[in-house]
A and B are shown apart, each in its own frame.
Chain A
């Protein structure tokens, strides 16, 4: 057996009794000083199924409802308790402690936005007479291949411009609802925005209300998805990219 490591919490963090890890294994804490790693036993050779991925996320999302959690990326497997205590907690002690402090009371919420293509195309035609006239020129079957291409190219560029404008608008709105906002990569047709919000746990209700208001207020071409609360995946990532925690 080996240990699957879910994340790092403060040593006193209570684990909900009914919370189970991968393959329904019970969770426990391995404590070192003021820090603890959340682990469960796992067959070192077992393969990761989708349930394992979801279990990892579920454990972290449940814990973050009530405690500050630093998430491990999926796939950190350590052979022994001592390995966890020494190589993770002791080796990274100062960095982990300062990360725990900096995320104290904070959770991540993720907002994703897509375009409904059909609605977006209609908006585009309505707002851009030059594209509309290109379309009118290519309406018949006689339209040349070249003119079809020209129209399609204009539409593609128009949709991208619309997505950029919508993303900028959404980011501004979301920034009012969060301590910090990190935009994650989106790069394509109909995908508008993937934003991670860092929010105070106690401000969750007003954040929820803010997102609900926003989702009612945005143009109908936009579809929002709202996910969370999550541990600060995107922000831990940002912190680490800037400053390695342990050597």
Chain B
């Protein structure tokens, strides 16, 4: 039993390479920048960073939580004191499902596109699909208006 208990964490024996989501969190947001050259690159590429936020302190969220705790099995909650036992229930779901329920408030969705629309259909679709995936998973997330991320001024020059 303990083997399956820990299965979701087995990959932690070694770190994994960055996924697309990790990449968006890091390389679009961190690292050395030289303002003048970022501007050059932006001639062809526009990078949009969208802060998609779940509004935590909202009626919708409160109602969702109320419903969620009401659904929990009371007997089980009261009688089983060992956290591990509780886990059995949630183990059934796929990783995907679990992660779907586990949405972060601040998730950066970067949409990267050029102003040149030629040959871009395919990618457009790719990003769209991803966006759909995200919103499907996000429950009651409300996206705020996209804001353009320009290069952060690093210094006064």
Contacts and interface: CB of A to CB of B under 8 A. Distances in A.
A227 B22 CA distance: 8
B81 interface: yes
Nearest to A47: B114
A66 B50 CA distance: 35
A153 B62 contact: yes
Given A53-B24, A75-B45, A185 B15 contact: no
The interface centre, meaning the residue of A74, A223, A245, A246 with most chain B CB atoms within 10 A of its CB, is A74
A211 B15 CA distance: 9
A181 to B, nearest CB: 15
A178 interface: no
Contacts, number: 269
A57 B67 CA distance: 41
A244 interface: yes
B32 A189 contact: no
Q: Bin the interface of chain A by size.
A: 35 or more
A170 interface: no
Nearest to B17: A61
A45 to B, nearest CB: 5
B77 A122 contact: yes
A142 B98 CA distance: 31
Contacts of B36: 87
The interface centre, meaning the residue of B16, B26, B98, B154 with most chain A CB atoms within 10 A of its CB, is B26
Interface in A45-75: 45-50, 53-54, 56-58, 60-61, 70-75
Nearest to B40: A77
Contacts of A122: 72, 76-77, 86
B19 to A, nearest CB: 8
Contact of B40 (A79, A92, A194, A237): A79
B34 A53 contact: no
Interface of A: 2, 5, 7-8, 44-50, 53-54, 56-58, 60-61, 70-79, 83, 87-88, 92, 109-110, 114-119, 121-126, 131-132, 135-136, 138-139, 148-149, 151-153, 155-156, 159-160, 184-191, 194, 208, 211-212, 215-216, 219-221, 223-231, 233-234, 236-237, 240-241, 244-247
19 contacts: A44-B40, A46-B114, A47-B112, A47-B114, A50-B123, A53-B28, A56-B23, A60-B27, A61-B17, A76-B32, A110-B22, A110-B26, A116-B90, A116-B102, A189-B56, A189-B103, A216-B6, A224-B9, A240-B32
Interface of B: 5-6, 8-9, 11-20, 22-34, 36-38, 40-45, 47, 53-54, 56-57, 59, 61-70, 72, 74, 76-77, 81, 83-84, 86-87, 89-90, 98, 101-106, 112-114, 116, 120, 123, 126-127, 154-155, 157
